[in-house]
Every structure is written in structure tokens, then in C-alpha cells.
Amino acid sequence: MEQQVVGWGDGTHWSHSDSCTVSRKLGEAFYKLGVRDIFGVLGGGIAPFAHGLMQNPFRFFHFRHEAGAGFAAVESYFASQRPALTVVTTGPGLFNVLNAMGAARADGAKLLLVSGSSQRELTGRGAVQETSTMTIPDPYIFQSGALFHFAARVETIQELQIALQRIQIGFQSPGGFVAHLSIPLNLQTQIIDPKISLIGQGWKIAQHQFSDSVIENCLDSLIHSRSVLWVGHGCRMASAELMQLATLTQTPVICSPRSKGVFNEHHPLFVGVSGAGGHESVPRFFNECSPETVFALGTRLGEVTSFFQPGLIPTNQWIHVDLDPSAFGIAYPAGVHGYGIQGECKQFLSQLLNAAIKREPLTKKEKPFWNSINSMIPPRLNPLEAHPVRPAFIMQTLQEEVLTQNQVTVMSEAGSAFTWCNHLLKFSNPNQYRTSAAWGSMGHFTTGVVGAALSGKKTAIAVVGDGSMLMNNEINTAVTYNARAIWLVMNDAQLGLNEHGMKALGMTPIETQMPRTDFVLFARSQGAKAKAVHNEHELKTALRWALDESGPVVLDIHSDPHSVSPILAARTKSLQNQQSKGGSL
């Protein structure tokens, strides 16, 4: 369906409507950078910018909360591979969006945030929503650093040109890039000669090639030692190369939670998913098969991917490939030696594959050393009568009704949802699954699902908790734009992961119980279609109905509060290890 393009005003409300403003030229520049979809919440401090921006052919999706707009922009990027733009107003608008920017940075999105700020001469004089270094904790927000790869409060056209050059290069380069431009009203409305360009003709960044000796050495280790490929989110575009290389060299593969589907989870070479909600076949593989060389590709092997479990290390060497050299070996410091290769995983895998093809016929190991390990096969469940729906049954239904086709993106939220999805769903296709493992914010996918549905070509389904839905949701926005978003709410009337997690740690859960929300009423009151699912017999029909609808749908699934999430044993151990070393919850 053609999406409605929403503008801001008809061009008559602003005194400079006929003249070319900096904001209008900025819009041209962002268009040139590949931006098409904008997610935001407007206010007085940013209205002239939005007005100028919309004199260009963008789609502007106005959200209900800035965090929702930010998470939607992150998922828009992953669904479309186009940089997304988030627009927020001064002060509170800027504060509200920051959590989503943390997720964008952690997940490797290409995203630009534009906020309004106060003019420098007003600093400290009590302007409405003053947005300056007096009120906002610089350096994290207005300067490049841990949150933004690039950030600036720009006051002049020259400063804008410098900033746009940096953003252009960031967007052209491999890996994520999250930028923030904070623009005061006087610059937003400044008249500019239309012939002045804010952005250059464009840059092409040459792809880094690995030398023959690096590739040949890696190939030797891949073929002549007991090796395993442990892949992460950084390999999400290298699925074809990975499959060919693994099958040609008969090398087993492990996936991180975020890279589920990058290697077909049904394939005989698949060992399992590591980390949060992952499979015990992974530690068993390390235990029983003692791999000599572990290729860690596009993953930091952080807590969600490895739980920092001591056993998950090679007996001889790491070969660690990542764009960011600070990832090398950091999960397992002071361990066996490693070989760090800075670069892009798709490039690395494709060069390694070409070298392997040239070396054929390869000496195949007679009996694969990992032969005894099979990745997890979930037991088949029959529906139960008069019982709340077991999370495992939701997963089985999703697998059978949804994952048999590639027409749907599945997203899983922090809480019990992502642990069940990581553990039980099996993906055969890359980029069909989204979870935000490292940042793990509640409210990411209850809102991000709308961005994915609006910018992607597929229906987006978010598996989420009731707690997350109450924290933030953008059902109303989805109704406005008729987005193909489906919320599967695991409604257990509690903060389930807190309840089970605190018990598992030997503590008494604190305030985890909530009055049951009627998400059917909640959704319908905002104009979305909705159905309740009280037991397992009702689930399949409800899911089919949701998939057949043309707009946003909420399924309120009364889920079993006693089913303990598969993450708990390992996460508990990881937290206990951190506590004994002085870490915190």
C-alpha cells in the first residue's frame, strides 16, 4: 500500500516559506545521503527545521514518544538498509530519545538524530526547554564519544558543512554510524543562497582487501586444525559466503543470538546458538570436541553471546575478525593467543572462500570431529485445554505458521520473550530475526516493530511482554499509517523475567506482579484490531487471522506465568560470577 506522506503545514505559516532556508537545504543533503523515512516527535524548537525538511520528498512518521521514534528508526535501518532520520525537539524531546540512540549504537545502525537547541547567546538565561551545555550533560550528547560516533551543536553554515562531510563518510563506511546534529532555531530558519551546497558530491570508500598471506594462513588453520566458525551480527550480510565456506571445508558453525539465521539453523553443520537463551550443544561442543582454532567473526563475544563462560575458548588460537579492533579477545582476556584481523566480515569470508575454491580438492576429514553434537531439536508439544499458553507452545506455533516462509520479520523483546525466541525458534534465512541483545531495552521492539513495518517490505511481528507494552508502544502510530505490525503480547500479568530471575538468584522478587491488562481493549481503543488467546487451542487460528489482516494487530496471549525462561541458569551463573568479582546486578 502507498504510505501517506505527511508534511508540516502548507508552506504559508512561516515567514520564509518562499525563500530557501538552511532546513530545506539540509533536507536535500539528507536525501542525498540516502534518507527517505523520518521518525520523530515535533515541537516548537524543531518545527521550522521539519517545515524546511518536508519541502523534500520524505515520508515523515510522527510518533507518540521520542524513544518510540528512535527505536522505529533503528528498525527502519535494519529493514531497509537505508540510513534513517530521527527528529526531536529541544530538552525533554532530546532526553527521551537517548535510550534509542544507545540501542542504535550497540546494534550498529546507521542513524542521524536532529534535535533543536537553544542559541548560544541564550545560554543560562532561562529559555523554554533550554538545550545547551548548561542543561544537557555534555560531552556525551553534543560531542562525539560513547553514544554518538559524531555529534555537534552547529551554529553556522560552515559548521554544518563540516558535520555533513563527517556524516557522509560515516554512512559510506562499513559498520554502524550514529550521528547527532543539534540545531538552534536561528540556523534552522536562516535564509541561504540556493546555489550553496551543504554537502559534497559524494564519497566512495574503497573496500579494504586482506593480503594473500593473511588469507592463506587463515585457510590453513581452517582446514588443518579442528576449527569452528563462531559468527555474530557483523556477518549478517555474509550468509551466502558463510554457507559455501562451511560446506566446502566442512567446518561447524555457531551463531550468536543476534545472528540467528545467518547460518541455516536446520543445517547439519550448525552446532547451536550461544549465550542468552542459547543451546547447551555449544558448551558441549567445546567440552567434547576441543576446537583448536575458533574464528570469531563480527562478534565481541560479549555476555549475551558467550556469558563469558570459561569453557568457550580454543585450545590453540583465536582468529578474530572485526571492524573494531577493541573487540579482539576482550571477552576472554589473558587466555590463549589470538590473531586479530581488522576488517569487514563479508569481505574476509569471500576472500577465504575464493582461496578455498582455488585449493580444491581439499582434504576432507574422514569423520567429522564434531560428529556427536546435534543442535537442539525442540520436543513437539500438544495443545493443552484450560491452561494458559506455554511460551514454548507460542514458539512452536510461530515456527510452523510463520517461519516456514520468509515473508515475515520476527522481533523479540527484552524479557522472557527474547530468551524463548533465541532458544526455540529456528531460522533458515538471514535478517529475518531481530533482537537487541547487547542493549536489551524494554520498549525497543514494542515500538521498533512499527519502523520495520513502515520501511521494510515484510510484515513485522514483535514477541513482547506485557511489561514492555506498558512501558512504551506505538500502536496508535501504527494505526495512523496502517503499518503491517503485529504484537504478540505474552501477557503473564507480571514482570516475568524479574520474578523468575530473582527467585533463581535466591532472592524474594520485589513488586513483580501487575494487574492484568486487557490488551484487546487497549489496542481497540486506539483503532487497532485485536484478539485474546486464552488457551493453546486458540493460538493457531488467531495467528493466521492476524497474518491475513492488512493493518496493525495485537494478540493478547494469556501466557503461563510459571514457565521458567531458558536463559535463567546461565544468566544466573554469569551474574553470580560478576557479583563475586565485585560487579553489580
Ligand X SMILES: Cc1ncc(C[n+]2csc(CCOP(=O)(O)OP(=O)(O)O)c2C)c(N)n1
Contacting residues toward ligand X, per CB under 6 A: 414-417, 440-443, 465-468, 490, 492, 494-498
CB of 465 to Mg ion, least distance (A): 4
CB of 441 to ligand X, least distance (A): 4
Query: Residue 294: phi, psi to the nearest 5?
Result: -110, 120
Query: How many of the other CB atoms lie within 10 Å of CB of 16?
Result: 15
Does 560 participate in binding Mg ion (rule CB under 5 A)? no
- Nearer of residues 409 and 441 to ligand X, judged by Cβ: 441
CB of 500 to ligand X, least distance (A): 8
Query: Residue 431: phi, psi to the nearest 5?
Result: 60, 25
Which segment (68-76, 97-105, 494-502, 523-531) binds Mg ion by CB under 5 A?
494-502
- Nearer of residues 143 and 498 to ligand X, judged by Cβ: 498
Query: How many of the other CB atoms lie within 10 Å of CB of 244?
Result: 15
With CB under 5 to 8 Å by kind, the binding choice for 176 among ligand X, Mg ion, none is none
Does 443 participate in binding Mg ion (rule CB under 5 A)? no
CB of 492 to ligand X, least distance (A): 5
Which segment (193-201, 318-326, 496-504, 525-533) binds Mg ion by CB under 5 A?
496-504
Strand, helix or coil at 2? coil
Which segment (22-30, 78-86, 299-307, 460-468) binds Mg ion by CB under 5 A?
460-468
- Nearer of residues 442 and 460 to ligand X, judged by Cβ: 442
CB of 468 to ligand X, least distance (A): 4
- Nearer of residues 261 and 465 to Mg ion, judged by Cβ: 465
* CA atoms within a 13 Å half-sphere pointing along the CA-CB vector of 566: 23
Strand, helix or coil at 528? coil
CA gap 507, 327 in Å, rounded: 34
Which segment (70-78, 125-133, 351-359, 463-471) binds Mg ion by CB under 5 A?
463-471
Q: What share of the chain is helix, strand, coil (3-state, %, to 5)?
A: 35, 20, 45
With CB under 5 to 8 Å by kind, the binding choice for 456 among Mg ion, ligand X, none is none
CB of 270 to ligand X, least distance (A): 27
Q: What one-letter code names the amino acid at 99?
A: N
CA gap 201, 60 in Å, rounded: 25
- Nearer of residues 86 and 565 to ligand X, judged by Cβ: 565
CB of 411 to Mg ion, least distance (A): 17
Q: What are the residues whose beta carbons fall under 8 Å from the beta carbon of 169, sequence distance 6 or more?
A: 203, 205
Q: Closest-CB residue for ligand X?
A: 465
CA gap 537, 271 in Å, rounded: 33
Cell 582455488 belongs to: 358
Strand, helix or coil at 15? coil
Q: CA separation (Å) from 12 to 15, 17, 18, 44?
A: 7, 6, 9, 17
Does 465 participate in binding Mg ion (rule CB under 5 A)? yes
Q: What one-letter code names the amino acid at 488?
A: L
CB of 579 to ligand X, least distance (A): 17
Identify the CA nearest to 504 among candidates 416, 388, 381, 395: 416
- Nearer of residues 334 and 510 to Mg ion, judged by Cβ: 510
With CB under 5 to 8 Å by kind, the binding choice for 350 among Mg ion, ligand X, none is none
With CB under 5 to 8 Å by kind, the binding choice for 264 among Mg ion, ligand X, none is none
CB of 585 to Mg ion, least distance (A): 19
- Nearer of residues 90 and 441 to ligand X, judged by Cβ: 441
CB of 490 to ligand X, least distance (A): 5
- Nearer of residues 154 and 276 to Mg ion, judged by Cβ: 276
With CB under 5 to 8 Å by kind, the binding choice for 123 among ligand X, Mg ion, none is none
Inter-residue contact 273 to 279 (CB < 8 Å): yes
CA angle 521, 525, 528 (to 5 degrees): 90
CB of 505 to ligand X, least distance (A): 14
CB of 66 to ligand X, least distance (A): 14
Dump the DSSP string for 465-507.
EHHHHHH---HHHHHHHT--EEEEEEE-SB-HHHHHHHHHTT-
With CB under 5 to 8 Å by kind, the binding choice for 73 among Mg ion, ligand X, none is none
CA angle 48, 50, 52 (to 5 degrees): 70
DSSP conformational letter for 121:
G
Q: At what angle do helices 345-359 and 212-224 cross, to 10 degrees?
A: 70
Query: What order do you get walking across the sheet with 338-342 strand by strand?
Result: 270-273, 253-255, 227-231, 293-297, 317-322, 338-342
CB of 443 to ligand X, least distance (A): 6
With CB under 5 to 8 Å by kind, the binding choice for 442 among ligand X, Mg ion, none is ligand X
Does 466 participate in binding Mg ion (rule CB under 5 A)? yes
With CB under 5 to 8 Å by kind, the binding choice for 498 among ligand X, Mg ion, none is ligand X
Q: What pairs with residue 464 in β-bridges?
A: 489
Does 492 participate in binding Mg ion (rule CB under 5 A)? yes
Q: What pairs with residue 487 in β-bridges?
A: 462, 554
With CB under 5 to 8 Å by kind, the binding choice for 417 among ligand X, Mg ion, none is ligand X
With CB under 5 to 8 Å by kind, the binding choice for 329 among ligand X, Mg ion, none is none
Among 116, 451, 496, 552, binds Mg ion (CB under 5 A): 496
Does 343 participate in binding Mg ion (rule CB under 5 A)? no
Peptide linkage before 139 cis (omega within 30 of 0): yes
- Nearer of residues 465 and 501 to Mg ion, judged by Cβ: 465
Cell matching residue 309: 563462560
With CB under 5 to 8 Å by kind, the binding choice for 440 among ligand X, Mg ion, none is ligand X
CB of 349 to ligand X, least distance (A): 33
With CB under 5 to 8 Å by kind, the binding choice for 468 among Mg ion, ligand X, none is ligand X
Query: What order do you get walking across the sheet with 408-412 strand by strand?
Result: 433-435, 408-412, 459-465, 485-491, 553-558, 529-533
CA gap 482, 543 in Å, rounded: 18
Q: Closest-CB residue for Mg ion?
A: 465
With CB under 5 to 8 Å by kind, the binding choice for 322 among Mg ion, ligand X, none is none
CA gap 571, 151 in Å, rounded: 35
Which segment (63-71, 195-203, 400-408, 466-474) binds Mg ion by CB under 5 A?
466-474
Residues of the shown chain interacting with Mg ion in the complex, contacts defined by CB under 5 A: 465-467, 492, 496
